[in-house]
Structures are given as structure tokens and as C-alpha cells.
Structure 1
Amino acid sequence: MSSTTTLNPATEQSAAKVVEGSNGLLLEIDGQIVPNYDATVHPFQEGDVVTGHVVRIDNDEVLVDIGYKSEGVIPASELSIRKSVDPSDEVSLGEEVDALVLTKEDQDGRLILSKKRARFEKAWRRIEAAAESGEPVEGAVIEVVKGGLIIDLGVRGFLPASLVDIRRVPNLDEYMGQAIECKVIELNRSRNNVVLSRRAVLEEQRKEDRERILDRLQPGQVVEGM
């Protein structure tokens, strides 16, 4: 006659005990002292933005310590809206970064984060505010494409060639890498579409310059034309 033995979980693994004097931050399990992650980590879900420090930079990914039980992984493709980025150009060791939680645990048990998507969310709020107020936004030219320029605003903004300057620009390549100010003239969140105009900024500046000159003119004063 066979018999069944019921095992007490306590015989397999000792219950975790809070280490005295640790303020609940350390646990003792089977004689070993381990961090109490439940006490040190703020709860977060997929889609939340978390803050951490860069602890390792590889060719294809970056590791970030957010105080979780494992380090977060930012794949190179999630570092920037720019194409084919070198992780070492985007972040430095010890740098504090904000990242959006894509997956709390992938098939390999890794916490997957995205720096570009955290920046994307902040950028949209800033761009929407600028579009409403009429204030210009500033970004760097990162690509020359057919029909215009791509501006890095945290979101890919499109600047049509006809709106780059007051006059026609024969060579758009000369703007690569430059930081420029533009007005937001079209915005569509559902399509991630941002259309910009540098010409609007230049025309506004020209108008302000003319008004300042006119304000200084005196009756009978002779000035040279421009």
C-alpha cells in the first residue's frame, strides 16, 4: 500500500524574514541576505516612464539600473529616432535617462525599455503647446529627404523645401546637423505627422525688424534702403 507524503513548504525553503535595522530593505532567506525589491521598487506597468542610470553600453543595447530586480535593456533601435545610431553617441555611463517600459518581462525574462518613446511623449506635449501658442520649436536637421528636411524634435518633424527659407534653397545638404527654429503648421498625433515652417519664423523676424526701424525714424530723416 502506497502512502502520500505532503511536504511543508517551510521544509523546502525558509520563510523570508526582514533583517532587523534594515528598515525593511533587506530580507534573510536560507541564511542569505538579499534585497527586498518589493520595498525598494516603485510599482510600474508597461507604458509607464521610469528613470534610471546607464550602467553598461554595448554595440546593440544599453543597460539601465532603475532599482528593479534586474537591469532594464534599451535596444539600440529604441535609443533615438535617428537611424542606425551608435549607443555610445546617444548615452554615457552614469547618465540619468528616462525610459518608457515596453515589456516588463520578455521571452528571456528581460525588462525592455525605450528612451526614444519616453522622449516622444514629452516632445508631443511640447509640440502641441507650441502649435497652440504659435511659439517656435527648435531641433537639429538629421536627414535630407525628397522634398525637404527631417528635424529631430523628439518626434520626426518634416520641413518642406519650400518652407526652409524665404528664398529658394538650391542645396538642402548645407543644413545637415544645424539646429534651427520652426513654426508648427500641421500636427496629427494619430499619424505621428508634424509639418514645420522655418520660413514663417524668418518672415516674422523680418516684420519685427522693420517695425523696430520704423519706430526709430524721425520726420524728415533720410535712410538708405536695404
Structure 2
Amino acid sequence: MTEQNNETMLDAIESVQEVKVGDLVQGEVLSIDDNKQAIVGIIGAGVEGVVPLKELSTLAVENVTDIVNVGDIIDLVVISEMGKDKENGSYLLSKRRVDAKKIWEEIEEDYKEGKLIEAPVTEIVKGGLVVDAGVRGFVPASMVEDHFVSDFSDYKGKTLKFKIVEIEPSENRLILSHRAVVEAEKEAVKQEVLSNIHDGDVLTGKVARLTDFGAFIDLGGVDGLVHVSEIAHTHVDKPEDVLTVGDEVNVKVLSVKPEEERVSLSIKETLPGPWTDIDKKAPVGSVLTGVVKRLTSFGAFVEVFPGVEGLVHISQISHKHIATPHEALEEGQEIQVKVLEVHPDNERIALSIKALEQKEDDEVAAEDDYQMPEEGTGFTLGDIINAEDLTKED
């Protein structure tokens, strides 16, 4: 019986594992000392160890019970031997380092697969941000956003997505980029928007920036260009004369080139044209105020509305005989005219100045001597149109 007991004790002694620095072991939490360290029994070794608060977690915690409680079984690594005579244990142990090793392995796997990680910003330091990815990660200032940021204070406490740029576990180096995530998201949005834009679409956007040659309109991820000639029906010298950054505008898509990421837009195509409802704005018989824009050999072109010019034929300038319009009118002169004919389809208006002037006696006498053309052979708007076309050809 005694021999059997001795064999059993020997077996038990031999089954007890030897604990060495660097060993991965399991420990059962036996007690918690003032919430600042955990006393554990190393399973299979018959010895105890201490896990200080700072070695319990990769995160900053204030109490041991935030992480473990009595009875918990936890994975640990042996940091050092404290001596057999230590009251609270023979070994210094760390749970944090075991967790960190696992985290590094997971991060390395994410890096290989090109996965993004999420982590909160814990510190703002010179040169960038410090984040807690289970291990310490650093985001250089140039990798925070795709635009310049002068003050990073608002980032503290925020949880952001990051691309892993560089990883070296042996040196505890983890470099992350939030800018890469932002750029990738914007590119995805841009491609989706471009795939859903077609020629002729009418969209709403905001003026993003102005240049000498036009305005760039944000369509929700893609900027399209409104050339200065497409801003209004009237002449525009500078885009800033009629538009302001931030203005919401309607635009018509003139062309889309997804492969070049170019979208040509027009604002004026969404606006009523100057000739829209011209027969209501300038009905026959109405009197309008206009400005002489051009003088030709056969008459004067008078702008009666922005972008709308009508022709006063030389025969309608004065009751007196004149050889050229220059005898009675000057470019830039403001005058009143009467509407004789309106042809919206051809965008033509026939006007008269003399119809608003009182005839003098000698002019009446001269007209009495004048042989009127037979009915149907007098001056018509067709004569005006032909005369203008001939002038343009010259």
C-alpha cells in the first residue's frame, strides 16, 4: 500500500510542469489584491503568479475587475521569476502581452487581405493621431484626410476606419491611413454617380468653385463643368458676376465621358429662353423701351429684352427720308419702339420708331404725293429676315 502511494506521489510530482520565462500558461484567478493586481494559480504547475493591472489589458483600465474576476481562467505569458519566497506569487505574468500577440496576428492577416480596421483616436500628438487598435497605431497628419487639417483636436475620441499602411510587430510599429479610406469611398461614389448620369438629364447640384472659364458643380460626388457660355442666355463676362460658391442650381447634362470623369453641364438650358413667350411679352401694337445695339445699311437692331433684338427697318425709323440709319440713330442710344410683327418660331420681331412720332405737315404732303405699293407688295417681316440674312452672308 505504501509502495503504491509512493508511486502515485511520484507520478503527481512528475506531472507538474516546469514554469520558465516566456512560457504560455493558463491561470485561474484566485484573488484580487486591492483591485490593482490579480493573484492566479498556474494550472498544472502548482505555483502562483501575479498579474499587475498594467499587464491585464491592452486598453487603459483603472480596476482589475474591469477585466477579470475570481474564478476566471485566462491565458498568460511568464514575464519573469519573482522568487520562491514571494508572498503573492512566484512569477510575474501578463495577459496583455498574450492578447497583443493575438491582435498583431489578426492585424497582419487583415493587412495581407487588404481589410480595413476600425479604431478610436486616443491621443493627438505632434505629427498626427494615436489610435487604439488593440495595439498602438499611428496616423501621420498627411494620412488623416484628403485635405489639409490645421487642428486635429476634434478627432479625439472618434472611431474611424483605417487602411493598414505598414506593420512591424517586432518593433510595435503600426502605421495607418484614414485618407486612403476617404479617397476610396469618394472614388466609389464618383463611379456610381457617373454610371447613373446620362446626356439630357436635368440634375440639381451646388456650385463648388468658380474659374475664369466657368463653374464647377458638385453633383453629389462628381464635379461637372458649366462653361461660362452655358451659364445664362445673356452674355456673362465672369462666372462670379452671377454665381456664388454654395449656390444650388439646376443643370442639364450636355455630355458624359465616364472614362475621363468629365461631365459637361448647362445652366441656361434649364432656364426659360429670352424668346420664350415673346408674343406675350411683346404683343403686336405694344410699345417697348430698348437700346440700339447695331446699325446696318437697312436698319437698326434694338434690344428690347435681355437677349432679344428686333429690327427697325430703315423705312420705319423716321417719317423723314434718310439715306442710312446712322443719320438718325447711334449705337447705345435708348429709344422707344412699337411692335409691328412677332414671329416666335423664327425669333424675329419687326419694330417701328416712326409709328410713335407725330407727322409734320410737309411730311404729310410728301406722303400724299407718294404712290403706295399695291396691296400685298409692301414691306413685311420677310423682307427684314431676307435683308438680315443677306447682311450676315456679307
TM-score greater than 0.5 by the shorter chain: yes
Does residue 70 of structure 1 match 2:70? no
Q: Which residue of 1 aligns with 2:67?
A: 91
Q: Which residue of 1 aligns with 2:169?
A: 189
Q: 1:80 aligns with which of 16, 35, 57?
A: 57
Does residue 113 of structure 1 match 2:88? no
Q: Percent identity?
A: 34
- Residues 118-141 of structure 1: CA distance to partner in whole angstroms, max 9, x if unpaired? 122112212222222221122222
Looking at CA atoms only, which structure, 1 or 2, has the larger radius of gyration? 2
Tell whether the 8 Å contact from 1:151 to 1:158 is kept in structure 2 after alignment. Answer: yes
Aligned AA for 1:205? E
Q: Which residue of 1 aligns with 2:182?
A: 202
Residues 134 and 16 (structure 1 numbering): CA distance in 2 closer, same or farther, change over 3 Å?
Answer: same
Normalization by structure 2: what TM-score? 0.43
Bigger relative contact order, structure 1 or 2 (CA pairs below 8 A, ≥6 apart): 1
Aligned-partner Cα distance in 2 for 1:51–1:161? 41
1:146: Cα distance to partner?
1.8
Q: Which residue of 2 aligns with 1:101?
A: 78
Q: Which residue of 1 aligns with 2:23?
A: 48
1:182: Cα distance to partner?
0.9
1:65: Cα distance to partner?
4.5
Aligned-partner Cα distance in 2 for 1:54–1:177? 32
Residues 147 and 52 (structure 1 numbering): CA distance in 2 closer, same or farther, change over 3 Å?
Answer: same
Tell whether the 8 Å contact from 2:103 to 2:135 is kept in structure 1 after alignment. Answer: yes
Residues 78 and 217 (structure 1 numbering): CA distance in 2 closer, same or farther, change over 3 Å?
Answer: same
Q: Which residue of 2 aligns with 1:174?
A: 154
Aligned AA for 2:36? D
- Residues 33-82 of structure 1: CA distance to partner in whole angstroms, max 9, x if unpaired? xxx5865x777653233344544333431233453423432112222345
112-121 or 206-215: bigger deviation: 206-215
Aligned AA for 1:50? V
- Please list every run of at least 4 consecutive aligned residues from structure 1 whose deviation after the TM superposition is greater than 6 angstroms: 41-44
1:217: Cα distance to partner?
3.4
68-77 or 153-162: bigger deviation: 68-77
Say how many residue pairs are matched: 196
Aligned-partner Cα distance in 1 for 2:153–2:29? 34
Aligned-partner Cα distance in 2 for 1:37–1:222? 85
Residues 65 and 188 (structure 1 numbering): CA distance in 2 closer, same or farther, change over 3 Å?
Answer: same
Aligned AA for 1:76? L
Aligned AA for 2:68? S
Normalization by structure 1: what TM-score? 0.69
Aligned-partner Cα distance in 1 for 2:178–2:65? 28
Tell whether the 8 Å contact from 1:116 to 1:154 is kept in structure 2 after alignment. Answer: no
Residues 72 and 195 (structure 1 numbering): CA distance in 2 closer, same or farther, change over 3 Å?
Answer: same
Aligned-partner Cα distance in 2 for 1:15–1:200? 69
Q: Which residue of 2 aligns with 1:7?
A: none
SS of equivalent to 1:143: strand
Residues 182 and 37 (structure 1 numbering): CA distance in 2 closer, same or farther, change over 3 Å?
Answer: farther
1:147: Cα distance to partner?
1.6
Tell whether the 8 Å contact from 1:100 to 1:118 is kept in structure 2 after alignment. Answer: yes
Tell whether the 8 Å contact from 2:26 to 2:43 is kept in structure 1 after alignment. Answer: no
Which sections of structure 2, spanning at least 5 residues, go unmatched? Answer: 206-218, 221-394
Q: 2:145 aligns with which of 151, 154, 165?
A: 165
1:200: Cα distance to partner?
0.7
Aligned-partner Cα distance in 1 for 2:13–2:202? 77
SS of equivalent to 1:97: strand
Tell whether the 8 Å contact from 1:54 to 1:91 is kept in structure 2 after alignment. Answer: no
Aligned-partner Cα distance in 2 for 1:158–1:216? 38
Aligned-partner Cα distance in 1 for 2:155–2:78? 34
Which sections of structure 1, spanning at least 5 residues, go unmatched? Answer: 1-9, 19-26, 30-35
149-158 or 66-75: bigger deviation: 66-75
